């Protein structure tokens, strides 16, 4: 896909807005679709601050900021999706919502347009059933990581009927926007969430057994394993309610090894959800 190719992003929340930004930074015109124009504009407006932070880290030239933002068109409808080459969907994590979006897009987007979903837990093969037989070969998962503007990894997940040339195209697109794609099978949790939650569950065991404190477990992972951030700091960023929900999904798929620890359930019952509630494993100023 060349820089002239237009991209559609559905959902301007935490993930969608920054996915749109990554495509705009790589030179693409991006249509950013939300349920209302107000939400689409709100998502785009947040990106000015993201670009300022990227400029401070010397990842972009501050003078390019207006040019990059101009490439993103907020919208509340799919009219502008008639000419897009790729759609990345980052709406709510709800099978019906996502299927409805893809079914509608299937009637609007050109036949050659590739559909990608940023789902973290719904099988790609299930979501692909929302499109017709002509599109199904061009349906794929692209699992970005938060914050998208900083995290280089994308898990590229073919569904059962995804064509090999779609996989190759999407891997190339990821590289073109400065990301590093890895190919992963369409299994629950893909690869990264399986690795992550096994570690988080074991961290909670260490804590329950009194082996080490929250601070020391974080220090162990940062200084002993080279992780940029410890498990408790990261759990507080993602939110314990979501962490628990994901562990239930993984437990359903893989059994005992992903059974959430009682301590995590207690934290959720107490509404100690993380940064968003001011208290999680650690305390945060409002």
Ligand X SMILES: NC(=O)c1ccc[n+]([C@@H]2O[C@H](COP(=O)([O-])OP(=O)(O)OC[C@H]3O[C@@H](n4cnc5c(N)ncnc54)[C@H](O)[C@@H]3O)[C@@H](O)[C@H]2O)c1
Catalytic (active-site) positions: 120, 143, 155, 193
- 15 lines the binding site for ligand X (CB under 6 A): yes
Of 50-58, 114-122, 126-134, 271-279, the window that binds ligand X (rule: CB under 6 A) is: 114-122
Q: How far is the CB of 94 from ligand X (least distance, A)?
A: 8
CB-nearer residue toward ligand X: 95 or 161? 95
In this structure, are residues 139 and 201 in contact, taking their beta carbons and an 8 Å threshold? no
Angle of CA points 77, 112, 12, to nearest 5°: 30
Q: How far is the CB of 44 from ligand X (least distance, A)?
A: 12
Contact pick of 29, 118, 142, 149 for ligand X (by CB under 6 A): 118
CB-nearer residue toward ligand X: 190 or 207? 190
Q: Which of residues 27-66 bind ligand X (CB under 6 A)?
A: 33-35, 39
Q: How far is the CB of 262 from ligand X (least distance, A)?
A: 25
261/239 Cα distance (integer angstroms): 15
| 38 CB burial (10 A radius; 0-12, 13-18, 19+) | exposed
* Count of residues that bind ligand X according to CB under 6 A: 23
Q: How far is C-alpha 151 from the geometric centre of its chain's CA atoms?
A: 10
In this structure, are residues 60 and 101 in contact, taking their beta carbons and an 8 Å threshold? no
CB-nearer residue toward ligand X: 97 or 163? 97
Query: What would the 3-class secondary structure string for 133-185 be?
Result: CCCHHHEEEEEECCCCCCCCEEEEEECCCCCHHHHHHHHHHHHHCCCEEEECC
CB-nearer residue toward ligand X: 39 or 214? 39
CB-nearer residue toward ligand X: 34 or 236? 34
Please identify the residue of the shown chain whose CB is closest to the bound ligand X. 13
Helices (H) and strands (E) in the chain, counts: 12, 8
Site string for ligand X, 80-109 (x = CB under 6 A): ----------xxxx---x---x--------
- Residue 259 in tokens: 């059974």
Q: How far is the CB of 268 from ligand X (least distance, A)?
A: 17
Q: Report CA-CA distances (Å) from 143 to 23, 52, 95, 256, 280.
A: 15, 25, 16, 25, 26
- 229 lines the binding site for ligand X (CB under 6 A): no
Which DSSP state fits 128? G
CB-nearer residue toward ligand X: 163 or 192? 192
- 123 lines the binding site for ligand X (CB under 6 A): no
Of 8-16, 134-142, 164-172, 203-211, the window that binds ligand X (rule: CB under 6 A) is: 8-16
CB atoms within 10 A of CB 43: 24
The radius of gyration of the chain from alpha carbons, rounded to an integer in Å, stands at 20
Residue ranges that bind ligand X, judged by CB under 6 A: 10-16, 33-35, 39, 90-93, 97, 101, 118-120, 143-144, 146
């Amino acid at each position: 896909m060349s820089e002239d190719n237009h991209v559609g992003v559905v959902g301007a929340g935490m993930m969608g807005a920054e996915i749109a930004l990554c495509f705009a930074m790589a030179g693409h015109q991006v249509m950013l679709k939300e349920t209302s124009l107000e939400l689409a504009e709100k998502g785009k407006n947040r990106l000015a601050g993201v670009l300022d932070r990227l400029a401070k880290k010397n990842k972009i030239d501050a003078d390019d900021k207006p040019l990059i933002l101009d490439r993103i068109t907020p919208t509340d409808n799919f009219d502008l999706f008639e000419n897009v080459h790729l759609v990345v969907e980052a709406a709510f994590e709800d099978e019906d919502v996502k299927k409805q979006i893809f079914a509608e897009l299937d009637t609007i987007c050109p036949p050659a347009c590739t559909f990608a979903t940023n789902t973290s837990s719904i099988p790609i093969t299930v979501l692909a059933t929302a499109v017709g037989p002509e599109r199904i070969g061009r349906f794929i998962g692209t699992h970005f990581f938060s914050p998208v503007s900083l995290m280089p990894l994308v898990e590229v997940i073919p569904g059962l009927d995804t064509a090999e040339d779609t996989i190759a195209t999407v891997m190339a697109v990821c590289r073109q926007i400065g990301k590093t794609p890895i190919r992963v099978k369409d299994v629950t949790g893909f690869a990264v969430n399986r690795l992550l939650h096994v570690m988080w569950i074991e961290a909670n065991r260490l804590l329950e057994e009194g082996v080490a404190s929250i601070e020391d477990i974080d220090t162990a992972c940062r200084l002993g394993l080279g992780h940029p951030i410890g498990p408790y700091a990261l759990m507080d960023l993602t939110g314990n309610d979501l962490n628990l929900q994901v562990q239930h999904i993984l437990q359903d798929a893989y059994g005992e090894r992903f059974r959430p620890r009682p301590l995590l359930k207690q934290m959720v019952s107490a509404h100690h959800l993380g940064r968003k509630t001011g208290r999680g494993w650690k305390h945060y100023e409002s």
